[in-house]
Structure 1
Amino acid sequence: MRKTKRTPAGTLLSEMILDLFRLNNRLLSAADRLVAELGLTSARWQILGTIATARQPQPVAWLARDVGAHRQNVQRIVNELAEEGIVAFEPNPHHRRAALVVLTDKGLRAFEDAMRLQVPWVNNLADGLQVEDLDATQKVITEVLRKLEGDGE
């Protein structure tokens, strides 16, 4: 069996990916704690944010694409949110069976409350970090994501 060797960039990126996995898990746990008092989880908050920031109402499949999640998982969360009156379904003029998901007033309040909690939290996390470093990191993450999305993943 022939051994393959990572390039220096491949080695650094591999190490960064492992750190990103750990960071993702920590972020999800921290976000769960941050919004628990609002009756939200990080997953619910992510869906609310995707709905709130979309240019127009979208069906579940599009929401799933935007968050990089499986449609079935997003559908389950959206259904739970609908049962609680946080989101509602509207007819989709382009597809009879794929209803559009919209925030209700209750959902908008929940999202805004979550964002009010997020501001001091994220500012605290950013304390001591350099804007230039954050910008460079964001560019690397965006480029890797673009490449992965180009592969159909």
Structure 2
Amino acid sequence: MEGNAFSAFAITALRLAGHLTAAGDQLAKPAGQTSARWQVLAAARRGDMSVAQIARALGLARQGVQRLADVLAAEKLIAYADNPQHQRAKLVRLTAEGAARLGVIEVAQAGWADGLGSAFTTAELDAARAVMARVMAMLESDGAAGD
């Protein structure tokens, strides 16, 4: 019985992820970006992460993040900086233009989130987030993915 309920939860989460990505693409479009590029720009704002660290934090493949970072660097939205911890793994830093584009997206996202968020209580959203965080932690632990 719990397996069926979890399967329904997982299917709903996957559908939600698709909708959130599509909404993110629409929010990022006026700044000439996509959801994926937006995530890398936001991570670059920290200034102390390598591509591999950004990929791990986002749960994405390093190669995909590297491709996005290289495009963003070519467009001068991010820059690579020397990493005192690792000679070859450069740090990813947001440029002034990257920060400006990210700002445009974040203003749009804040209004969008306020509109959707007003349909729920904080307790409802916190409970949903807590369940998703527990599932992610279980999947990230050894062997939980059914390997």
User: Which TM-score bucket, shorter chain as reference?
Assistant: over 0.9
Mapped partners of 1:78, 1:34: distance in 2: 20
**Corresponding position: 1:140 with 2:142:** no
**Corresponding position: 1:48 with 2:25:** no
**Corresponding position: 1:33 with 2:21:** no
The offset of 1:97, in angstroms, is 1.0
Alignment partner, residue 78 of structure 2: 87
Q: Which runs of 5+ in 2 are unaligned?
A: none
1:102 is paired with a residue whose SS is strand
Alignment partner, residue 5 of structure 1: none
Q: Which runs of 5+ in 1 are unaligned?
A: 1-7
The normalised TM-score by structure 1 is: 0.89
Mapped partners of 2:121, 2:82: distance in 1: 46
Mapped partners of 2:63, 2:103: distance in 1: 26
Q: 2:44–2:78: 8 Å Cα contact kept in structure 1?
A: no
The normalised TM-score by structure 2 is: 0.92
CA-based RMSD of the aligned residues comes to 1.4
Aligned-partner residue type, residue 119 of structure 2: G
Mapped partners of 1:102, 1:151: distance in 2: 32
2:86 is paired with a residue whose SS is coil
Alignment partner, residue 94 of structure 2: 103
Mapped partners of 2:122, 2:73: distance in 1: 39
